Amino acid sequence: MIERILPGGVAVAESTAELPAAAAEAPELFPEEQEHIAASVPLRQAEFRAVRACARRALAALGRPAVPLVPGPRGEPRWPDGLVGSMTHCAGYRAAALAPADRLLSLGIDAESDLPLPEGVLEAIGRPEELPQIAALRRARPELHPDRLLFSAKESVYKAWFPLTGLMLDFTEATLVLSPDGTFTARLLVPGPVVAGRRLPGFRGRWLAASGLVLTAIAVPRP
């Protein structure tokens, strides 16, 4: 499903099986991965195992062997040399997307249940100029929860940003424009990463609402 909003050449693997069945069907973790989640609660262990099963399938689609995928200090996925990628999971859905680094600079994907955000979250993540868009999208797409879409798009922005900078990015440090046609733009309000001698001012992404999910994706092309 999420491949519909990603460019060609990106290997995508998804699963819609419910936990813990998805985790039970996943391959065994590498010792390094098992050690990383040894102290985690069972739900976190099941999510970790299930989404890495997707990542192994995406690696195989690119002709790469399975390798340990232990998160970095900020929880970011660390991929084999020559690859960029992103992973996501929510209730009833998980996915991994990978691409050769000579084609894309970075990838960011996110999946959320298409439900309203908890009270107070929109005010915490949204900028004043973004809030009128939520009302407009709600009128244009009454079946959609645009507050959740904004949250998901900002998650994808961060996932695309971090591999290029190694820095944290607050929800309010980028301002987004969400379009009813399934696209969005993100303008960075802090200095962007320098790529090929040029500072990136922001990102362009795509979104999709289907099967009770909101999906967002950003693919940063290599100059």
Q: Which tens digit of pLDDT belongs to each residue from 76-132? A: 999 999 999 999 999 999 999 999 999 999 999 999 999 999 999 999 999 999 999
Spell out, as residue ranges, where the chain has pLDDT lower than 50: none
pLDDT of residue 68: 96
Provide the pLDDT for residue 46. 93
pTM for the whole structure? 0.95
Q: Judge whether 94 and 54 are in contact, CB under 8 Å.
A: yes
Fill in the DSSP letter of residue 175: E
| pLDDT value for 22 | 78
Report the pLDDT value the prediction gives residue 83, as an integer from 0 to 100.
98
pLDDT of residue 33: 96
Peptide bond into 221 cis (omega under 30): no
